[in-house]
Chain A
Amino acid sequence: MSETAERRDRRRLTSVVLGPGSVPDPTPLGARVTRGVVVSANTRMLCMAVPEGEERFLYDHDTTFWRGGEVGPGDLRPGDDAVVLRMAGGHPVAERVWAQAARATGVIVARDGDTLEVDPGHGRPRLTVVIPYRNSGRITVRHPRLEPGYVFDAVGVWREGAVWATRPATTQPPYPLRATPHRPPTHRYGGTLNGIATWYDPAWGRSTHLDPRAHLDAVAYPALDIVGHDPACDRRTPCAPLPLLSVGATLSLRNDCTKDSAVFPVVACAAADSWLCDLCPACGGQGAGRIASLTMTGFVALGGRLEDGCFNATVTVHDGEG
């Protein structure tokens, strides 16, 4: 049975046993976000290869571009992995374009000069992270210990198969991962939690016009139940008191900055997000701890900016009492 069919079956059967309110259907997020590979780009138009064929986007005078930093339309290159947020209203006009966006979240396992090897956990392949000299000051201010055993989280761009870090996505905890303090005991759980939502790329920036994972609007969840999950999810107890769920469950997520909300299916384990207990500076949120890691397109569709790495969010997990 394919993973997708398994997820759908779990949702259907949970709904039958515990009632339809326990597993709301995922919200279709519409077509405001498109991801694909740049075929050609000039100063007036972007042509992208997408699963349906080719799609063209015009630029407005407000259209902005990001490729490791704010760039112009001429800096997009054929072959770039691009995420396009359209203008509201359904017109094929780009509001913002991100090219080659990448993220490295995990624990540092090796260091060789300005190159790190980062383990994102959960059996995902290790990432090579390069910290270019021009960004090293910015990175080391918030990641003072670039040593094996310490957690790392930075946003950057894909270049020659490695993530070239451009800006830190969190402040590194001052202790190594194995010395992470335990969460204090929780007495009550109310069904709704504040925290921060982050993003990850399930397709690793490769063949995003063909890979269906690149177009998924879903979340990886940091409190996945270990039982029934294969391969094993090497998560820790996250600092936000999240209810235990499995792949196939759904949860409501609200962007506290834009007030946009949607129901997302849980598709993966967010092991690295369970290791971090941080705050997001966006719009002055106070909720500590990562509550969900959205896929790239889901994150943008819910109003996030990939270069920020996070937004303050409220998660609601519908209980099965009924």
Chain B
Amino acid sequence: MSSEIFAVVREVQLPLLAVLLLLGAVTKMSGRAADTGGLAVLVSERLRRPSAVATGLLEAALGVGLLVSNGLPGEAARALTAIVFAVSVVVLFLVRRRDPEAGCGCFGGLSRAPVGRRTLTRAGLLSAAALTTLGLEPAGWQVLASPTPSHAWVLGAELLILALLSPELRDMVTRSTHKEPCELREVPLNHTMRVLQRSEVWRTNEPVMIKPEPTDVWRKGCWRLLRYDGIRHGRRVDVVYAVRIGGRRDTAVRAVVVDRASGAVLASYGAVSQAELIGPPRKLPRPSVAARLHERRQDPDRAAQSLRAARGLSILGEPAERAPRGHDHGDPDERRPAPTG
């Protein structure tokens, strides 16, 4: 059983290594970002591009060899693949020593993360994987043509290990799922203008502005500020907008109208108070529950006493002429609310 699983593991390496090599070849030979890491760090400027292309061509040849060849040419491709990955471990060590910030360049411009232990482990494991394929009968395409559930399981497990060892994947996921903080985000001016011109603050101030283009634009961290010329009640004013980068459309824009001569602020729009607002209670009790609670808290004697005290004060404090205005109330104590319940 274990020998069968080992045979499956060996077979799976062929298409897996071939795909990785072909992917590496394509990324190395496409774009200028390819020659920024890995071997390029160790060679002179003149040789960077040729070395990247040569490595890519070698990887492409090995990838094709692993897929289509068996017999002696196949064995040669497998042995050469193992040697290439083993050499790459040494190269990566040297790259890390030479420039700790350089990427491995394994997948061209995608491999920008500095060379770390995971990258080195990955190269070492791939070299070992290539060694296990020595002596296999089928070529890579034959493995692909007759897959079994065991192949799928082994391939899945290996892909998982590779994903854990690949900074490129983490980098891609991070870049696609996380936005940079608004302070650091580069935003084109026309995007800011769109947000501004859709805002209510803009519509309110539109009649004041005399030019459609801002006279000055500047940035302050999360905010882009725009200054417009304007006239308000015959006086020259500056209408200054602050548009928050990545803010909600309805709250992203603030504005002030400033008198140009005196510098006085004539109007302010869109600023949100920093004071803590008192919110409603989280949940109001049902009326029957509220009534029961009220009754429980009710103390008739105390209520009557406080009422008496209040009326006494009221009668003492009331001016004499206002006293007859009241209707004939009789004894105040007669108006004591009947105890409920």
Contacts and interface: CB of A to CB of B under 8 A. Distances in A.
Interface of A: 6, 9-10, 12-14, 16-18, 22-23, 145, 147, 149-150, 173-176, 178-182, 184-189, 223, 225-228, 241-249, 277, 317, 319-322
B335 to A, nearest CB: 54
The 5 closest A-B pairs by CB, nearest first: A243-B183, A246-B218, A225-B219, A228-B217, A189-B181
Contacts of A149: 45
Contacts of A173: 99
A227 B220 CA distance: 12
B178 A14 contact: no
Nearest to B185: A244
A174 B99 contact: yes
Contacts of A241: 181, 184
A181 B225 contact: no
A245 B188 contact: no
A16 B219 contact: no
A233 to B, nearest CB: 12
A175 B36 contact: yes
Which of the four size classes fits the interface of chain B?
A: 35 or more
A206 to B, nearest CB: 30
Contacts of B242: 14, 17-18, 320
Contact of A12 (B37, B218, B263, B274): B263
B205 to A, nearest CB: 13
B48 A179 contact: yes
Contact of B220 (A145, A179, A182, A245): A245
Interface in B1-49: 32, 35-37, 40-41, 45, 48
B145 interface: no
The secondary-structure label for the interface of chain A is loop
Interface of B: 32, 35-37, 40-41, 45, 48, 98-99, 101-103, 112-113, 171, 174-175, 178, 180-181, 183-186, 188-189, 216-225, 227, 238, 240-242, 254-256, 258, 263, 265, 274
Contacts of A227: 188-189, 217, 219, 224
Nearest to A244: B219
B201 to A, nearest CB: 11
A224 to B, nearest CB: 8
B181 A188 contact: yes
Contacts of B265: 16
The secondary-structure label for the interface of chain B is mixed
A174 B220 contact: no
Contact of A184 (B113, B181, B219): B113
Contacts of B255: 17
B256 A17 contact: yes
A13 B240 contact: yes
Contacts of B36: 175, 179-181
B298 to A, nearest CB: 47
A50 B129 CA distance: 73
A244 B178 contact: no
Contacts of A23: 220
A6 B216 CA distance: 9
5 contacts: A17-B241, A17-B242, A246-B220, A320-B220, A321-B222
Contact of B41 (A22, A175, A242, A317): A175
A226 B227 CA distance: 17
Contacts of A176: 45
B218 A228 contact: yes
A178 B32 CA distance: 9
A249 B36 CA distance: 35
Contacts of B98: 174
Contacts of A187: 174, 178, 181
Nearest to A13: B240
A250 to B, nearest CB: 10
A185 B176 CA distance: 10
Contacts of B40: 175, 179
B266 to A, nearest CB: 11
A179 B35 contact: yes
Contacts of B241: 17
Given A185-B180, A187-B178, A320 B221 contact: yes
Given A17-B256, A243-B184, A185 B220 contact: no
Given A182-B112, A245-B219, A13 B99 contact: no
Contact of B221 (A180, A188, A319): A319
Contacts of A179: 35-36, 40, 48
Given A175-B99, A180-B36, A189-B181, 10 more contacts: A13-B258, A14-B225, A17-B225, A179-B36, A181-B103, A185-B174, A225-B224, A249-B218, A317-B183, A322-B274
A241 B254 CA distance: 26
A85 to B, nearest CB: 33
B181 to A, nearest CB: 4
A196 to B, nearest CB: 15
B225 A10 contact: yes
B122 to A, nearest CB: 18
Contacts of A14: 218, 220, 225, 242
Contacts of A145: 45
Nearest to A147: B45
A16 B240 contact: yes
B56 to A, nearest CB: 17
A215 to B, nearest CB: 25
A317 B218 CA distance: 15
A202 B45 CA distance: 33
Which among A149, A180, A225 has the greatest number of chain B C-beta atoms within 10 A?
A225
Contacts of B240: 13, 16-17
